[in-house]
Amino acid sequence: MTDAKAAILARVREAQRTGRFPDIVARRTPPPEPAPPGAVLARFLIELDALGVEHHVEDSAEAVRARVVSLVGAGSVLTWNVDRLPYAVATVLPGAATGESPRDVQARAEFGVTGCDAAIAETGSLVLLSGAGKPRAASLLPPVHIAIVHRTEMMMTMGEYFARRTATIATAASCTFITGPSRTADIELTLTVGVHGPRKVIVVIGP
């Protein structure tokens, strides 16, 4: 062993023998105050525009239902269960398929209509927690996904969402973040929309 190496190892051993951790008082930075609802909504709409997501802001539950009817028209629908859709939207979608419907019926759906567990304004993302009555197929299988968002469930950042909904996330079967239509550029760097999910996302924001 060289003298230099021996000296270095001797100092390490001495440091281990006499070293001690300093007393550190844990300091937790308090979470920032939530942004005003108007600012959150404005940012969310800006991000949806950037993602090419069609959006509609309605002031009443009745207006939300009317908007969904106008978007769906006579098309076939796959939805969350009746008790999982907000604003009683299921009442205007008679005959819609659900997660309990035969798979071939679900596969033929032209529209997927779901609620939304949260919306992240800074990225324009939708948060969907799957579970009983909330099949992932409704947001992934049909070519058009219509997501209904409660204005009270909109948050500015993803960090805020994780901080406020920790317990809820822990009990969900899965947590899906949807940021605009499904898209990929894996093949020759050519952007293709609708490969792994819906080619179009429409957001309907209620009161």
Q: Residue 84: which pLDDT band, with cuts at 50, 70 and 90?
A: very high
Q: Residue 184: which pLDDT band, with cuts at 50, 70 and 90?
A: low
- Per-residue pLDDT at 7: 84
Please list the alpha-helical segments (H only) found in the chain. 3-18, 37-51, 61-72, 103-107, 137-140, 158-164, 166-171
Q: Give the distance from CA 22 to its chain's centroid.
A: 42
Q: Mean pLDDT score of the chain, rounded to an integer?
A: 87
Segment 82-97 mean pLDDT: 94
CATH number for region 37-206: 3.40.50.10420
Segment 115-122 mean pLDDT: 96
Q: Residue 117: which pLDDT band, with cuts at 50, 70 and 90?
A: very high
What letter would DSSP give residue 194? S
Diameter of the chain by CA atoms?
86
What is the C-alpha to C-alpha distance for residues 117 and 142, in angstroms, rounded to an integer? Answer: 20
Cβ neighbors of 13 (< 8 A, separation 6 or more) are: none
Cα–Cα distances (Å) from 152 to 36, 65, 156, in that order, read 11, 18, 12
* HSE-up of residue 76 (Cα within 13 Å, Cβ side): 13
3-state secondary structure of 11: helix
Lowest mean pLDDT among 20-29, 94-103, 175-184: 20-29
- Per-residue pLDDT at 108: 95
What is the C-alpha to C-alpha distance for residues 189 and 169, in angstroms, rounded to an integer? Answer: 35
Given a cut of 60, whether residue 194 has pLDDT beyond it is no
Long-range contacts of 2-5 (CB under 8 A, 24+ apart): none
- Per-residue pLDDT at 20: 65
Supply φ then ψ for residue 55, to 5 degrees: -145, 150
Specify the pTM: 0.79
- Per-residue pLDDT at 69: 97
- Per-residue pLDDT at 196: 58
The answer to whether 117 and 147 are in contact (CB under 8 A) is: no
Predicted confidence (pLDDT) per residue in 9-60, tens digit:
888 887 777 666 566 565 666 666 788 889 999 999 999 999 999 999 999 9
- Per-residue pLDDT at 8: 85
**Amino acid sitting at position 142:** P
